[in-house]
Structure 1
Amino acid sequence: MASKVALLGAGKMGQAFFSLLQKNHVDVSMWDVDCSKIPDAKPLAETVSGADFVCLCMPSWCIRSAVESLVPLLDSKTILISISKGIEKDTGFFIHEIFSDLLPKKQSYALISGPMLAEELQNDQGGVGVCASPSEDVCEKVRLLFDPTSLRLRTSTDIESVELAGVLKNIYAIALGIAEGLGWQKNRVGWLCGKAIEEMCLVATRLGKDEKVMLSPAGVGDFIATSFSEHSSNRSFGQSVAQGNIDKKGEGVVAFVSLEKKLGKYQPEEFPVVYALSKILNENAPAKEVFEYLFFAHA
């Protein structure tokens, strides 16, 4: 019997996941808070009723309100999946912590993180993700759901490290976007990539997470895809910052503030890329000057 899947959020990722699953004869439906995006959509309660999986395809700052709406509607057997990569601004919670805070204890959930650019998934170019959940059984069920598709999933029960990897790749992709916006060439960009990856591992260690996960598709894999894709919002944000335009939206910049709080007091030489981003985003220091110092002081 085909699995029933409800996708909440009709943005690029929601559309990409819908296309992936529909091609493989999954019973999939979609819902969005903006009714104009799906004129013939059923009410939320009908959309999720009897669903084996409910997938949240939305920015991290929408997750809490979405889950609050879902709690009275979900079947106990339904697995809730998030593909968001962020930290809640007011609480500093990661997505799995929001789930733990709001969901009934027996409600299963998982996260998927990795190089999964929506445009490439829709064009059937494939992607690779890490499905993370406290339950191995839940991980396997989610993996099997996508097994017939071009989205290949690994599994992990280290949900905290996997989620941190996804958050860090957004933040460090901003740095690569700034470098590109400043006209850095391949030698400098190559150095910055290496420095960012090294620093991701150091941040993970500082926060008590597994640095090896930072080197997995959820970390380095997603970081590379995000940093060099023309479709990446974090890359585009970094390019805008290089030109002096700082519009503090997007997963990476929202998460950055919370990440600094989690790191606590640190010396510039401990996390030089984070420090450089802090000077630019928090103190409005000129990106060109900050990145010149970053290169000559730490390369």
Structure 2
Amino acid sequence: MKAVVLGSGGWGTALSMVLRDNGHETWLWSHHPDKAAQMAAERENPLLKGVRLPEELQITGDLNCLEEADMVVCAAPSFAVRETGRKIAPYLRPESVLVSVSKGIERDTNLRMSEILRQETHNVCQVVSLSGPSHAEEVAIQMPTGCVAACPDRTAARFVQDAFMNDYFRVYTSYDIVGVELAAAMKNVVALSCGICAGLGFQDNTKALLMTRAMAELTRLGEQLGGTRRTFGGLAGMGDLIVTCTSMHSRNNRAGILIGQGKAVQEAMEEVGAVVEGYYAAESIHQLAEREGVEMPICRCTYEVLYEGKHVRDVVSELMTRAKKDELLETAWL
């Protein structure tokens, strides 16, 4: 099988290595031709220091690599997915499978990544979302990892499962692409919140409280938008939430720590030095919650810190002194 991975960040590179390990003819495309040439020559991605890229992995900045591709993996940052979809549309065939591994919700339109790709490629082929608790740094060194391939078309989901699955990368299938994509985007906001708490000096009790109650919020909104509750308790939901909120590999977590320590939001993101998806997702989730009438106090407060300059300690006080609740009598983990 011929597979092309679009996006030479850490995640795209790690996934291209999985595909190459599985014996597929694999191409890794970079938006920056100079970066592609450097990676091809040095056989290393600066974002995955110390990891040698296989000699058989073909690296290029030329989109002609998409010709006759059986599977195309879109690993562009969420803000670049629409442009990427537009560029690749002429190369796709009805028998191709397009895999979205970007985690986010588009600003203003509030569309999921697969929805954007379907728009820009005119539904020419099946789109599958691959998501789960999966730091690129660990996948690249073959640490055991699990993900979910989600698509209403089970044949397409199983095709992606077969392409990626091996003895260190386990893939489950799901029909719930809505829930999987929403969970992937929304957990980044929670990771920012957890980082802020850590930056304030709060410890494990606070983090456990925040993660659990935030998962209740994500589930409420996810169900309202058509997702399945069980998805939010699985790999794409709780699994990804745990790994993103507890690891220093997480850019969202690191940015949150800096904000909690007193740095301005933009300064914190610049210091992290890579895309902090949770910042963009916070605005979209706030818009969706307002539109759908779903109560999401943690996500709302995070939005207010990031976009309205609200002081983080005021937010903590507001959340801790909310009206009393009964956990078991509320629906969907309210």
Relative to the length of structure 1, the TM-score reads 0.92
Match of 1:237 among 237, 255, 258: 255
Q: Quick one: which amino acid aligns to residue 261 of structure 1?
A: Q
Quickly say closer, same or farther: Cα 1:24–1:298, change in 2 above 3 A. Answer: farther
**How many residues were matched structurally?**
296
Secondary structure of residue in 2 paired with 1:72: helix
User: Is 2:101 aligned against 1:71?
Assistant: no
Give unpaired runs (5+ residues) of structure 2. Answer: 41-58, 270-274, 325-334
Which of 7, 11, 14 is the aligned partner of 2:12?
Answer: 14
- Secondary structure in structure 2 of the residue aligned to 1:80: strand
Asked if 1:193 is matched to 2:211, the reply is: yes
For residues 267 and 137 of structure 1, the distance between their equivalents in structure 2, rounded to whole angstroms, comes to 35
Q: Is the 1:168–1:219 Cα contact (8 Å) retained in structure 2?
A: no
Residue in 1 that maps onto 2:298? 273
Residue equivalent to 2:332: none
Q: Residues 228-270 of structure 1, C-alpha deviation per residue, up to 9 Å, x if partnerless?
A: 11110111121122123202762111111111111126889x3
Q: Is the 8 A contact 1:21 1:149 kept in 2?
A: no
Quick check: 2:286–2:300 contact (8 Å CA) kept in 1? no
- Residue 35 of structure 1 corresponds to 33
Cα contact 1:207–1:263 (8 A) shared by 2: no
What secondary structure, in the 3-state scheme, does the structure 2 residue paired with 1:261 have? helix
Per-residue Cα deviation, 1:110-155 (whole angstroms, up to 9, x for no partner): 1111101000101110211111112110000000011225221111
Residues 128-143 of structure 1 aligned to structure 2 (within 5 Å): 128-143=146-161
Q: Cα gap change, 1:266/1:145 in structure 2, threshold over 3 Å: closer, same or farther? A: closer
Rounded Cα–Cα distance in structure 2 between residues aligned with 1:105 and 1:89: 21
Q: For 2:61 and 2:307, how far apart are their aligned partners in 1?
A: 42
Q: CA deviation at 1:293?
A: 3.0
Tell me, in whole angstroms, the C-alpha distance in 2 between the residues paired with 1:23 and 1:130: 19
Q: Does residue 246 of the first structure (1) align with residue 272 of the second (2)?
A: no
Select 1:101's aligned residue among 98, 115, 119: 119
Q: CA–CA distance in 2 between the matches of 1:160 and 1:208?
A: 7
Match status 1:260 vs 2:286: yes
CA offsets, 1:167-221, max 9 Å, x none?
1111111111111111101122221121112222222233343222111100110
2:211 partner amino acid: C
Question: How far apart are the structure 1 equivalents of 2:151 and 2:62?
Answer: 25
Please point out which of 153, 161, 182 is paired with 2:200: 182
Cα distance in 2, alignment partners of residues 127 and 211 from structure 1: 23
TM-score normalized with structure 2 length = 0.83
* 8 Å Cα contact 2:30-2:60 kept in structure 1: no
Local SS of the residue matching 2:90: coil
C-alpha deviation, 1:298, in angstroms: 6.7
Matched residues in 2 for 1:232 and 1:128: separation? 17
Is the 8 Å Cα contact of residues 114 and 221 (structure 1) preserved in structure 2?
Answer: yes
User: Is the CA contact (8 Å cut-off) linking 1:140 and 1:155 kept in structure 2?
Assistant: yes
Q: Which stretches in structure 1 are left out of the alignment for 5+ residues?
A: none
Structure-2 separation of matches of 1:65 and 1:149:
34
Q: Cα–Cα, structure 1 residues 144 and 297, in superposed 2: closer, same or farther, change >3 Å?
A: same
State yes or no: 1:214 paired with 2:232.
yes
Contact 1:207-1:262 at 8 Å conserved across structures:
no
Counterpart-to-counterpart distance in 2, 1:108 and 1:265: 29
**Is residue 310 of structure 2 the alignment partner of residue 285 of structure 1?**
yes
